[in-house]
Amino acid sequence: MKSLLKIFAILVIFTGLILIMTPGVLMNYLRGHLNSPSVYYLAITIRFVIGILLIYAARQSSYPFLIRLLGYIFVAVAAGFLLMGQSRFQEAVKYFIDLMEDKEWVAGLVAVAFGFLIWHVFPSRNNRDKLI
């Protein structure tokens, strides 16, 4: 489970770096594919799976309460997306894209920070002893 979360952390960091270094690329891609139902269902599925992984892996982390809380937030957001439906989801994403126009680097910084947080709270076996 920790390995999956470390992979997730790397992907989030990588995505954040893309947002910082090449602003507009991910937002333009999202604009072009937003009408696809697969984007909607993928957003729900990824948030739900990551949320469940965070909840179950929280005990192995350096900050179990924080990680469990983040897991519940991810699951709640997935449920919210499901309840709001695809058309409202698309409207919300369009609003976010318009809001972040020329500010993608801020979202990139947040993504990089979040990725490093997830990476940091799940230390390897060798480093876990040093934290205690």
Amino acid 9: pLDDT: 93
In eight-state DSSP terms, residue 43 is H
Domain ranges of the chain: 2-131
Say if pTM beats, i.e. exceeds, 0.75.
yes
Dihedral pair phi/psi, residue 103, rounded to 5°: -130, 25
pLDDT tier, 125 (very low <50, low <70, confident <90, very high otherwise): low
Determine the distance from the C-alpha atom of residue 62 to the mean position of all C-alpha atoms in its chain, rounded to a whole number: 19
Question: Mind listing the pLDDT tens digit for each residue in 52-97?
Answer: 999 999 999 999 999 999 999 999 999 999 999 999 999 999 998 8
Question: Mind listing the pLDDT tens digit for each residue in 1-60?
Answer: 788 889 999 999 999 999 899 988 888 888 888 888 999 999 999 999 999 999 999 999
Q: Which residues of 53-81 are buried (b: 16+ CB within 10 A; e: fewer)?
A: bbbebbeebeeeeebbebbeebbeebeeb
